[in-house]
Amino acid sequence: MAPSSKSTPAMMRIAIAGGGGLAWALAEAISETPHALVVLTRSAEIRASFDEFGCDVMEVDYNSQSSLRYALRGADLVLSTVKGQPQLNLIRAAKHEMISRFVPAEWEGALSHRSGTEDARDPGSQDALSALRDASRSSRHPMNYTVFSCGLFYEWFAPGGLSVYQVASEDTYCNFQGALFIEGESMAATITENNAEGRTVRVSMTSISDVGRFVAAALDLGIASWEKEYKMRGTQMSVRDIVATFGRVRNGMLQHPINTLCIPLNHKADTTLHKIATTDIRYIRYQDLSRFVNSSIQSQDYGMYFLYRRLKNAADGRWHFGSSNLTTALTNNHLMTFEPIAFDAFLESSWGPYS
C-alpha cells in the first residue's frame, strides 16, 4: 500500500462480525495491511474459509453478551456484516468494551437518501443507527461510528443474486437472483426509468471485493479522523444502461418478465414496453409504484412487493450519490492504489460466456 502524506497510523486489532461474502472480502483486503484481524462467526465450520488470511476466527453466540465481549476484548475497530438483533447485541458489547469505532452493516445506500417511510419497514437498521448515535454521545466512553455507503452491490446481478454471497441486505430473505431489476436466467427486466421529477433514474454501484479494498485503504487515513459517512462506488449508471449492459454482456434478449417479475393482470394497463438496442424491458411509471407496493402487500405477494419497493427506492435516489467522499479522501492522501472493477467486467467474470 502506498504511503500516506500523513504519518502511518498505529497497528490496530480489527474485528469483523459475520462469515459471509462481505466479511470474506473485508478480511482478504485487510489481511494485506499490518493490522491484527479477528473474525466473529456463529459457526466454526467457516474457519477454513479464512485460513488463508492468517486471522483469528472466533465462534460467538450473538445472544450472549459475555461471548461477544470476550471476542471483542482489545479490539479498536468493529466492522459489522450482521443485521437485526445480532447487530444490536454487538453494538452493546462493543460499547461495553470501549471500542473506538463501529462500522454497522449499512453498506447499501447513502444515509441522506433514505426515506423514513421505507426504512420503517427495516426497523433493525433504524434501531442500529439510533443505538450508535446514543453510544457516540456517551459522556464517559463515547464510541464513534462510520457508515460506509457503496450504493448497490454488483452482486445483485450475479448468478443466484446477493443471497449466494450470504450478505445481509435490508431484505435478506428476498435477495435472490431477479429480486432487483433483472432476472438473468430467463433474461427478464423490469425498471422505472424516470423519477417523480421526470429525471433519469441513476444508481451508484460497487463490487463486494472493492468494498473490502476501499475499507482497507481507509484504515491508513486513521480511524480517529473518519467521517460519519464515507461514500464509495465502482460506477454509476442509469437503470436503463444497467439493463442494456447486462443484455450486451449476456449476448441475448431480455424478454417480458415472468414468474417473480411478472406484472399482475390488473396492472397491465399501467405498463409500457420499451426496446433498447437488443434489450426488451418492462417499464413501470413512477406514479404507479406506491399503488403497486400497497396492492402487493394486500395480496401478500411479497416477491412483487420487494420488486416494486426497490424500484421506488431506486427512483427516489436511495442508491445514488453525486460524489464519493471516500475516493476523494483516499486520492488526496495518495491511498487510492486500485481501480474499481467496471460493471461489465464484473458481469463477464460472473456469468462467463453466454450460451
**Which residues of the chain register pLDDT less than 50?**
1-6, 120-121, 170-177, 255-279
- What's the CATH fold of domain 13-145? Rossmann fold (3.40.50)
Q: What is the pLDDT of residue 72?
A: 98
State which H helix or E strand residue 245 sits in: helix 239-250
- For the stretch 196-234, pLDDT in tens is 999 999 999 999 999 999 999 999 999 999 999 999 999
Model-level pTM? 0.86
Widest Cα–Cα separation across the chain: 63
Nine-digit cell string for 134: 446514543
- Sign of the alpha-carbon dihedral angle for 265, 266, 267, 268: positive
Q: Report the Cα 196 to chain-centroid distance in Å.
A: 25
**Domain coordinates of the chain in residue numbers?**
13-145, 154-202+238-315
Q: How many Cβ atoms are within 10 Å of 288's Cβ, its own excluded? A: 18
Q: How far is residue 38's CA from residue 15's CA, in Å, rounded to a whole number? A: 5
| Rg of the chain over all Cα atoms, to the nearest angstrom | 21
Q: What is the pLDDT of residue 1?
A: 44
Angle at 206 between CA 47 and CA 77, to 5 degrees: 50
